[in-house]
């Protein structure tokens, strides 16, 4: 093979890989695992290197027409709040039929300004507007992001939760948490026991990998994210019990503190 043919083959191979992720994300359909209870209330604690730094209350409810409403309220706590004051609220609407996000809104309140991002999801992607009250901030123009199968965090979690999650399974999720798009790859590593609130719980252990989706829809490594692991309860709830992520500043964690359900 000539040198030109060799590099041409590499280029074609790379193009196929880049095109493949879009097809994988767009083709992922809901699985047969039953939906959550009609009402779920949960509280999560967040921290860095073993020290709690924030907390959030999560409310998930099934509304009319099979639309699930998610509301999350939280902020920094304790010593972390003295260094960095942040309060946030997130709301989302997800249609159960395809676990497709319809709408979401994120509000972040800092000490001197606030940022609000409103996103409207459509079959081919999302339309989003980000507005900041920070002095000198640019006007909040509506931006369009075109990736089929794009969902917010709530829709992505509900879609992943519905899958069989057999050992060795892999999922590709196109996620729009706000501001930009990411490809989240989830791999089911296996079943094990996790000590949670003094008891050993059956869990599904999964690995997380995140790539940034560029303007030309090519994939680039997330500069701040290195690797992640999530332990999901292996029961009818399938809630994340613990998440550990290695980032550029160290280890960040999230842990379920309490949960209440209502059928």
CB-CB contact of 182 with 208 (8 Å): no
C-alpha angle 245/93/213, rounded to 5°? Answer: 45
- Side-chain-side CA neighbours of residue 76 (13 Å): 14
Tokens of 40: 């779920």
Contacts of 33 (CB under 8 A, 6+ apart): 161, 162, 163, 164, 165, 238
Tokens of 215: 């303007």
pLDDT per residue as tens digits for the range 144-178: 999 999 999 999 999 999 999 999 999 999 999 99
How far, in Å, CA of 45 to CA of 37, rounded?
22
C-alpha angle 224/230/235, rounded to 5°? Answer: 160
pLDDT band at 120 (very low <50, low <70, confident <90, very high): very high
Closest to 102 measured CA to CA, from 138, 66, 141, 140: 66
Tokens of 220: 């680039």
- Domains (range + CATH), the chain: 34-262 (2.50.20)
| pLDDT > 70 in the chain, percent | 92
The pTM of the whole model exceeds 0.75:
yes
pLDDT band at 224 (very low <50, low <70, confident <90, very high): confident
Closest to 104 measured CA to CA, from 86, 132, 126: 126
Alpha carbon 16 to its chain's center? 26
pLDDT per residue as tens digits for the range 42-97: 999 999 877 899 999 999 999 999 999 999 999 999 999 999 999 999 999 999 99
């Amino acid at each position: 093979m000539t040198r030109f043919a060799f590099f041409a083959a590499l280029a074609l191979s790379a193009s196929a890989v880049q095109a493949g992720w879009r097809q994988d994300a767009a083709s992922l359909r809901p699985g047969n695992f039953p939906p959550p209870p009609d009402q779920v209330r949960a509280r999560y604690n967040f921290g860095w290197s073993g020290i709690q730094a924030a907390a959030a209350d999560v409310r998930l409810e099934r509304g009319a027409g099979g639309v699930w409403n998610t509301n999350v309220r939280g902020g920094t706590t304790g010593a972390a709040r003295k260094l960095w004051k942040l309060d946030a609220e997130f709301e989302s609407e997800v249609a159960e039929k395809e676990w497709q996000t319809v709408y979401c809104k994120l509000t972040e309140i800092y000490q001197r300004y606030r940022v609000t991002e409103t996103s409207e999801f459509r079959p081919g992607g999302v339309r989003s507007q980000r507005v900041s009250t920070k002095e000198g901030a640019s006007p909040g123009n509506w931006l369009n992001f075109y990736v089929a199968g794009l969902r917010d965090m709530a829709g992505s979690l509900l879609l992943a939760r519905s899958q069989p999650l057999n050992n060795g399974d892999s999922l590709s999720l196109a996620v729009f948490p706000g501001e930009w798009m990411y490809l989240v790859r989830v791999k089911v590593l296996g079943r094990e026991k996790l000590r949670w609130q003094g008891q050993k719980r059956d869990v599904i252990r999964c690995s997380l990998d995140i790539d940034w989706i560029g303007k030309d829809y090519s994939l680039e490594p997330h500069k701040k994210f290195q690797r992640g692991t999530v332990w999901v309860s292996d029961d009818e709830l399938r809630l994340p019990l613990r998440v550990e992520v290695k980032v550029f500043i160290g280890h960040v964690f999230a842990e379920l503190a309490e949960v209440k359900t209502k059928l």
